[in-house]
Every structure is written in structure tokens, then in C-alpha cells.
Chains A and B, each alone.
Chain A
Amino acid sequence: MELIGLVCTAVTVLTPLVLALFVGSWIERRHLHALAQREALLGSMLVTDLRTFPQHEPGTPPPQMIVGEVVIGCDYFKAFLASWKLLFGGRVGSYQRVVDRARREAVLRVLEQARALGYNAVCNLRIESADVGGNTQQSRMPMSAVLAFGTAYMARQETTVPGWQPQSQAESLTRS
């Protein structure tokens, strides 16, 4: 009887962990792949966090503020790993990826909306971590909520400053 109890406990504890490990990492890989593809499409947009309007084209439609937000959760397996990491300290890579994905997704939503409206530039892009339902004190469900906003406007086509650097590209530059 004791053995059966032990097996049952092991199954209830391990099943979510194994499920989270495989499905979670698959979801993350798919998301990162989609992010890279979508960022590549927006390479021609002039994106800055300047409060002025670089290369603004006079006589074009007035600018408009655009907001994008996303909430991304961390899977059970990563949270489990991180809880061990928190004992010893150091870089928590799994959480870092979750925060990074949320930020890139929120920025992409702003840029995609701007492009859909016909704008070709975004300035004063701000990224803020939002809070959903007071999650700050709640450690059992790690998640990252990001609110990104910027002003979309029309810029002259010939860009003298390099356009927006997708993060995937910027990362590979610093690594090499």
C-alpha cells in the first residue's frame, strides 16, 4: 500500500513537471522563432525612443499614439528550476527569456499596429512593466506583463540613420 501511495505521489508531482518541460520549451521555441520572423518584416521602420520626430515628413497625416501589451507566463518547469537557482543566486536564464519575450512581443505589437495604420516610423517608444491583478507579492505564478507605447508618424523614406535593429540581430552582433 505504501508503495502505491509513493508511486501516486511521484506521478502527480512529476507529470506536470515533465509536461511543462516538453510543452513549455516547445511553446518558447515556437514563440522565439515567430518573433524573429516578425521582427525581420519590420526592419525598414524607423524606431527610436527620442522625443523629437526624426526625419518627419511635413504635410503627412498627424501622429498618433499606439499602445501594445502582453502578459507572458513562465512554465511550471522553469519556475521549479528557478526556485532552486534562487537558493544559490546567479543568473536566472529561464526567467530572463520570459521577460525578454514579453518585451519583444509588446514592442512588435506596437510596430505592427503602426504599420497596419500606414505609418512608417515610431518615436518615443517606451516600455514599461505593467502589473496584472497585483502580482507583485505573488511568487507562485511568475509572469511578465509589459506595456509598450510610442507615437507613430510618417518619416521620409531615405533613412540616413540605421533603422530599427531587431533584438535577435543586435544580440548576434554583440556575441560575435
Chain B
Amino acid sequence: MLVVNTETIPGYRIVALRGLVQGNTVRAKHLGRDIAAGLKNLVGGELRGYTELLTESRREAMQRMIAQAQQLGANAVVNVRFSTSAVTQGAAELYVYGTAVVVEPETPAASEAQPL
């Protein structure tokens, strides 16, 4: 699955559109993390617990989006965007959306190139 946040993929041609796909997660930080982050906040610096929370929710949201794209028979998602919103105090939503498309390589050389 090719995932990019641009409208096109160089070397590939979009042959079919499969529509908007999306994934979201709402995550609440738990008390343990809150306490640890509160202590860390005393001296500043990176709040690792919260960074991990953000990474986890981003991964999960993207997995949902990709699963949806696969269900629609797409092999790429283009123009991916993220957006976050606060649901209530203590819970945040991470929303990711993009357009599922079917792409095919323009040249035989491109079809041999594997994603890194």
C-alpha cells in the first residue's frame, strides 16, 4: 500500500478512484501517565508518555484508514491529512483521511522498484 500526502505519485498513474477513506481514534491519557507527565512538566522537556500516546493513536488511525482502502480494492492512498480535536477535557481525537486510488506503474522500471 502506497501512502503519500501528495496528490500524485511520480512514476505511477492513477487509474481508478475509490473514494474517501478515513480512520480515527479517540484516546484518553490515563492517570499514571498524567502523574508522570505532571512531574516531568515541572522541569520541562519532552513528555515521552504523551508522545507515545500520540504515536500509538496515529498508528491505529492510519491502520484503520489503510484497512478501509484495502476493502475498497485500492492499492494506494493519496493526499492524506491529519487533524486533531479535543472531545472533552482529557480525551483527544486523531483523525486521518485520504483518497483511496488504484495506481499502476507508468513504466516497467517503476514496477520493479519496491518501496523502501
Cα(A171)–Cα(B85), bound, Å: 32
Contact B80 A133 (CB under 8 A): no
Is the CB of B14 closer than 8 A to any CB of chain A?
no
Interface size on A, residues (CB 8 A): 57
For B113, what are the chain A residues with a Cβ–Cβ distance below 8 Å? 59-62
Query: In the complex, what's the smallest C-beta–C-beta distance from B41 to chain A, in angstroms?
Result: 4
Give the distance in Å from the alpha carbon of A149 to the alpha carbon of B62 in the complex: 13
Q: CA–CA, A23 to B99, complex, Å?
A: 46
User: Which residues of B come within 8 Å of A, CB atoms?
Assistant: 2-12, 27-29, 34, 37-38, 40-47, 50-51, 53-55, 58, 62, 80-92, 94, 107, 109-110, 113-116
Q: Are B40 and A73 neighbours in the complex by a CB distance under 8 Å?
A: yes
- Please report which residues of chain A, range 14-62, place their CB below 8 angstroms from some CB of chain B when the two chains form the complex: 16, 19-20, 23-24, 27-28, 31, 51-53, 56, 58-62
10 smallest beta-carbon distances between A and B, as pairs: A75-B44, A134-B86, A71-B50, A133-B29, A73-B41, A23-B43, A27-B45, A24-B44, A131-B84, A151-B4
Residues of B within 8 A of A160 (CB): none
A62 contacts which chain B residues (CB < 8 A)? Answer: 2, 9, 11-12, 110, 113, 115
> What is the predominant secondary structure among interface residues of chain B facing chain A?
mixed
Give the residue name and chain of the B residue nearest to A137 (CB).
B89
B9 to chain A, nearest CB (A): 6
The verdict on A147 contacting B84 (CB below 8 Å), with A59-B11, A64-B115 known, is yes
Least distance between A128 CB and chain B CB atoms (Å): 6
Residue from A28, A58, A124, A135 within 8 A of B5 (CB atoms)? A124
Q: What residues of chain B lie closer than 8 Å to A166, measured between beta carbons?
A: none
8 contacts between A and B (CB under 8 A): A24-B44, A58-B110, A64-B4, A71-B46, A73-B41, A74-B44, A134-B90, A151-B5
Across the interface, do B44 and A133 meet the contact criterion of CB distance under 8 Å? no
A71 to B12, CA, bound (A): 36
